[in-house]
């Protein structure tokens, strides 16, 4: 299990009420049958991050497989038994997680070395490290884990990565995970 401070955001003591407009921005997609790429692009707008700072993984045969970003689809998968992958921990515990000091958290860094977002920039850059991360399980009927959605802020150091995630952001991610569970691409493994 990764070390470092975890904040599940479940006690509600400091959590502000969820903002309805953001959840409605995602719920309108339910009628449009978006692709994972289209959905994650909308999620990136809600959280004011680059599309390459959104990850969506689907659980298949005990492995978390990337649906987005495209560059990670062929980079490998994450076994639920992984002790160093935050996504696996999120899926196993079925709890949201928030790390505003993620660079200090022991975790699998293999996927951070993959260059992402080639369409976002005309010139390729060295991949920036994940500095801040939120992770939420995507739960289907009866609480069955369908996958994981993660939002991060990348930078070459902590200050360059932008503002910390808040408990309100974590609540928004939980809402996004509930919307995500309703899409066919989370259930179809073909």
Q: Is pLDDT above 50 for 11?
A: no
- Pairwise pLDDT comparison (63 vs 110), residue with the higher score: 63
Q: For each of the domains in the chain, give its residue range(s) and CATH number, in order of start.
A: 20-115+127-186 (3.30.450.40)
Using left for φ > 0, alpha for ψ between -120 and 50, and beta otherwise, residue 159 falls in: alpha
Q: Is pLDDT above 80 for 124?
A: no
- Pairwise pLDDT comparison (157 vs 47), residue with the higher score: 47
Contact of 75 with 139, CB cutoff 8 Å: no
Can you give the pTM of this predicted structure? 0.80
Mean pLDDT of 82-101: 94
- Angle of helix 36-47 relative to helix 167-180, nearest 10 degrees, comes to 160
What pLDDT, on a 0 to 100 scale, did the predictor assign at position 103? 83
Confidence of residue 133 (pLDDT cuts 50, 70, 90): very high
Q: Is pLDDT above 60 for 86?
A: yes
Confidence of residue 74 (pLDDT cuts 50, 70, 90): confident
Average pLDDT over the chain, rounded to an integer: 80
- In this predicted model, what pLDDT tens digit does every residue of 166-175 receive, in sequence order? 999 999 999 9
Q: Is pLDDT above 90 for 4?
A: no
What pLDDT, on a 0 to 100 scale, did the predictor assign at position 76? 82
Three-class secondary structure of residue 83 per DSSP = coil
Q: Is pLDDT above 70 for 17?
A: no
Report the C-alpha gap between 141 and 36 in whole angstroms.
20
Element (H, E) at 21: helix 20-27
């Amino acid at each position: 299990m990764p070390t470092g401070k975890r904040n599940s955001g479940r006690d509600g003591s400091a959590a502000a009420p969820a903002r309805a407009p953001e959840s409605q921005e995602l719920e309108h997609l339910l009628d449009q049958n978006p692709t994972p790429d289209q959905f994650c692009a909308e999620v990136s707008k809600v959280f004011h991050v680059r599309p390459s700072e959104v990850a969506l993984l689907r659980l298949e045969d005990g492995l978390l497989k990337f649906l987005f970003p495209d560059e990670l689809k062929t980079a490998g998968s994450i076994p639920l038994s992984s002790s160093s992958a935050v996504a696996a921990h999120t899926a196993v515990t079925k709890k949201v997680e928030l790390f505003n000091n993620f660079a200090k958290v022991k975790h699998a860094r293999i996927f951070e070395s993959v260059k992402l977002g080639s369409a976002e920039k005309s010139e390729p850059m060295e991949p920036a490290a994940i500095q801040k991360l939120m992770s939420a399980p995507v739960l289907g009927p009866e609480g069955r884990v369908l996958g994981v959605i993660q939002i991060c802020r990348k930078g070459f150091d902590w200050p360059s990565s932008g503002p910390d995630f808040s408990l309100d952001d974590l609540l928004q991610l939980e809402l996004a995970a509930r919307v995500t569970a309703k899409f066919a691409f989370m259930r179809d493994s073909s």
